[in-house]
Structure formats: C-alpha cells, structure tokens
Amino acid sequence: MTVALPAMAAQPKASFVYVDKSEREMFVFAGRELLLHQRVALGRSPVGHKQQEGDKRTPEGRYLLDWKNPNSRYNRSIHVSYPGTADRQSARSRGVSPGGDIMIHGQPNGSPLPAAQLQAVDWTDGCIALTNVQMDALWEVIDTPVPILIVP
C-alpha cells in the first residue's frame, strides 16, 4: 500500500529587500508578504551615502542583489551592485575610486566575538552585516537578482 504524503509548500522567494539604515533594520518581501525582518550592522561611518573607497559608509539608493558567495570570509555573502553609474560618475568627478565589494554578509569566519556582541555596533567597511543565523535565513529566500533599496 502506498501512502501519499502532503506536498510541501515551496519556500517563498524574495522579490524586494528594504534596508533602513537609521533604524538598522532589513525587511525582505515576497510581493506584499514580509518574509524576514532582521536587525543589521552597517559600515563604521553609517551616516550618509557611500562616496568613495575607504569611507566606511554603506551606500544608499536602489541596487540589485546580483550574486551569492557561499565561500565568503564572512560565513556567506550576497553582493550589492554598488557602484552604479551615478556612483562611478560622482567619484570620477572628484578624482577618487567609488569603492566596491559591498555585500550583505554574516559574521567573520573564526571570530572570537559572539554574534550579539559584534552586532551591537556598526563594524563593517560599508557592508550590511547579519548574524550567521540571520544570513542563513536570508540565503534561503534570495534567488538573485533581487532589487534592494537602502534608505538613510
């Protein structure tokens, strides 16, 4: 006798990510459904839009989460498409590099600090940091590309 098992519902996938820098919060949506609401840590100089390489700021604006790195130095990471055309033009007009390698990522591999202690401060060079547990949850709902809006 064969018993039919109920079909498992497919995990909804993200269609939009919203980051509120001033509140240190990230919201992940599938359409109008809120999939995740997570606290984040930002760059060490969190106020203002990223202007150039080394300024420790997290970018502001519309970008894409465009690829995933399962072998990151920070548990896992998902790339933010910064710099965009306007970012490159602005930096070029000032004679500086806009920087790059902006990611949403987990905790540094091998960190001696507990996640809660590290996440209590803005500690990245301009990325958006999550705990490893949060990053694992985000990883499961992101199939790139996904739009991301980062607001002041």
The pLDDT score that the predictor gives to residue 10 is: 80
- What average pLDDT does the segment 96-106 reach? 95
What does pTM read for this prediction?
A: 0.91
pLDDT tens, residue by residue, 32-72: 999 999 999 999 998 999 999 999 999 999 999 999 999 99
Select from 3.30.465.10, 3.40.190.10, 3.40.50.1820, 2.40.440.10 the CATH code of 16-151.
2.40.440.10
The pLDDT of residue 26: 98
Beta sheet of 61-69, edge-to-edge order: 33-39, 25-30, 16-20, 146-151, 61-69, 77-80, 103-105, 128-129
Instruction: Answer left, alpha or beta for residue 61, where phi above 0 means left and psi between -120 and 50 means alpha.
Output: left
Please determine, for residue 18, whether its predicted confidence score (pLDDT) is greater than 70: yes
